[in-house]
Amino acid sequence: MYQKKSYGGQSGAERPRIRPEKEPLDILLEIAGLLVVMAMVVITAKAYAGLPYRIPTHFNGSGQADGYGGKGMIWLLPAITIAMYTGLSLINLFPYNFNFPVNITPENAPRLYRHAMRSMRILNLLLVIMFFYLTWQTIALAGGKSDGLGFLFLPVAIFAIIIFILYMIVRMYKLK
Q: What is the pLDDT of residues 43-70, one digit of tens each?
A: 999 999 999 999 999 999 888 999 999 9
In a domain, 48, yes or no: yes
Q: What is the 3-state secondary structure (H, E, C) of the chain?
A: CCCCCCCCCCCHHHCCCCCCCCCHHHHHHHHHHHHHHHHHHHHHHHHHCCCCCEEEEEECCCCCEEEEEEHHHHHHHHHHHHHHHHHHHHHCCCHHHCCCCCCCCCCCHHHHHHHHHHHHHHHHHHHHHHHHHHHHHHHHHHCCCCCCCCCCHHHHHHHHHHHHHHHHHHHHHHHC
Q: How confident is the model at residue 9 (pLDDT cuts 50, 70, 90)?
A: low
On whether residue 73 sits in a domain, the answer given is: yes
Has residue 16 been placed in a domain?
A: no
Q: Looking at the domain assignment, is residue 15 inside a domain?
A: no
Looking at residue 89, what is its pLDDT? Answer: 96
Domain for residue 124, yes or no? yes
Q: Domain for residue 131, yes or no?
A: yes
Domain that holds residue 117: 24-175
Q: Is residue 90 part of a domain?
A: yes
Enter the pTM of the model.
0.87
The answer to whether residue 12 sits within a structural domain is no
How many structural domains is the chain composed of?
1
